[in-house]
Every structure is written in C-alpha cells, then in structure tokens.
C-alpha cells in the first residue's frame, strides 16, 4: 500500500508540474507568436500596452523616432527671424522607453525637450506632445509619420505670453536622415 501511495503522489506531482509548465509557456502566445513587453493575447492577436506596437508588441513607439533629423522651420506667424535649417537628434528617454523621447537642439535652441509619443488610429502616424511646456509660455505638439522609408515629424510650437496674449506660432518639420 505504501508503494502504491508513493506512486500515486509522485504521478500527481509530475502531472501538476507538467500542467504548470504548459500553462506558463502558453499564456502569452497567440498561435505561434509570443506577445512581448506585457502584451496579451485576445482572439489570437497580441494586444499591446501603451508605448508598443507590432504583431508581437516587439517595437516601442519611440524606437521609430530615434535618429538624426534635418529640421526646417516652414512658417511662423508673426515672422520669426533666425536659422531656418538645423539638425536635431532624437533618443529614447530614460523615464519611459516605450513612449517618451528626448529631442536635442529643439527649435535650434541647444535645449533638449522630452516628448510623448501616443497612438493614433493609423499605425504609421503617431501623435507627439512636448510636455511639460517649453518654458516662457511655449509648448508644442504634432505627429510622427512614416511613408515608405522616410520618417517625418511635424510639430507646431505655440507661444503664449503672460495674461494669455498670443505670441508666435511656428511649424517645424523634422526629416530623419
């Protein structure tokens, strides 16, 4: 009887361990795809958390923006004089690698700003907001778009002076080199 009991307990433990291994290895699988970066499977499709995209949530939104850009100021109202062409570099921000970026030399000012990349209805266009404000009542927002192999960021920078008086509005275009 003791041998039978030992055999039964051992068989039960092996079955529990096997089921546990099968469950943990499959719980984030969508068919043959494993959902990454905290993605979950729903109806055999990976549902990605904020900041990630791709069929297995493998790509952070910020990674599409990382690189060196040629920048132009296409229009300002009222007209703002100064350099119209410059270069900026975008890197992943340390605070949240999924959806924040650092833009160096923003607006040709030797200033680095933190921008948030947010999802839009189109996987090739993502909204960008620079927050907190740029100081002196300035802020910026726009979008990142990918057409073929060209990544473009279009930002509109708004300045409001104390008392709510409107300052300048400038559009900037950044094209990844």
The whole-model pTM stands at 0.64
Q: Are 47 and 40 in contact (CB under 8 A)?
A: yes
CATH 2.10.25 fits 2-59, yes or no: yes
Q: Give the other-Cβ count within 10 Å of 171's Cβ.
A: 16
Q: Are 118 and 66 in contact (CB under 8 A)?
A: no
Residue 135: in which H helix or E strand, if any?
A: strand 125-135
Assigned token pair, 78: 């009222």
2-59 and 64-176 have identical folds: no
Rounded mean pLDDT, 5-15: 52
The matching CATH number, chosen from 2.30.29, 2.20.25, 3.40.50, 2.40.128, for 64-176 is 2.40.128
pLDDT tens string 84-101: 788 999 888 777 656 788
Half-sphere exposure of 115 (CA within 13 A, CB side): 33
Of 12-16, 75-79, 102-106, least confident by mean pLDDT is 12-16
For residue 56, CA distances in Å to 29, 35, 75 come to: 9, 5, 40
| Cα 170–Cα 67–Cα 87 angle in degrees, nearest 5 | 45
Rounded mean pLDDT, 44-67: 83
Domain spans of the chain, in order of start: 2-59, 64-176
């Amino acid at each position: 009887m003791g041998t039978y009991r030992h055999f039964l307990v051992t068989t039960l433990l092996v079955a529990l361990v096997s089921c546990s291994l099968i469950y943990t290895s499959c719980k984030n699988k969508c068919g043959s795809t494993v959902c990454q970066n905290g993605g979950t499977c729903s109806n055999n499709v990976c549902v990605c958390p904020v900041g990630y995209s791709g069929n297995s949530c493998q790509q952070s939104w910020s990674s599409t923006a990382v690189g060196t850009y040629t920048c132009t100021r296409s229009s300002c109202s009222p007209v703002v004089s100064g350099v119209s062409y410059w270069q900026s570099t975008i890197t992943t921000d340390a605070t949240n690698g999924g959806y924040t970026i650092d833009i160096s030399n923003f607006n040709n000012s030797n200033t680095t700003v933190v921008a948030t990349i947010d999802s839009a209805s189109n996987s090739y266009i993502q909204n960008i907001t620079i927050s907190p404000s740029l100081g002196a009542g300035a802020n910026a927002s726009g979008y990142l778009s990918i057409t073929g192999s060209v990544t473009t960021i279009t930002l509109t920078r708004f300045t409001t002076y104390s008392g709510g008086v409107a300052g300048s509005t400038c559009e900037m275009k950044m094209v990844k080199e």
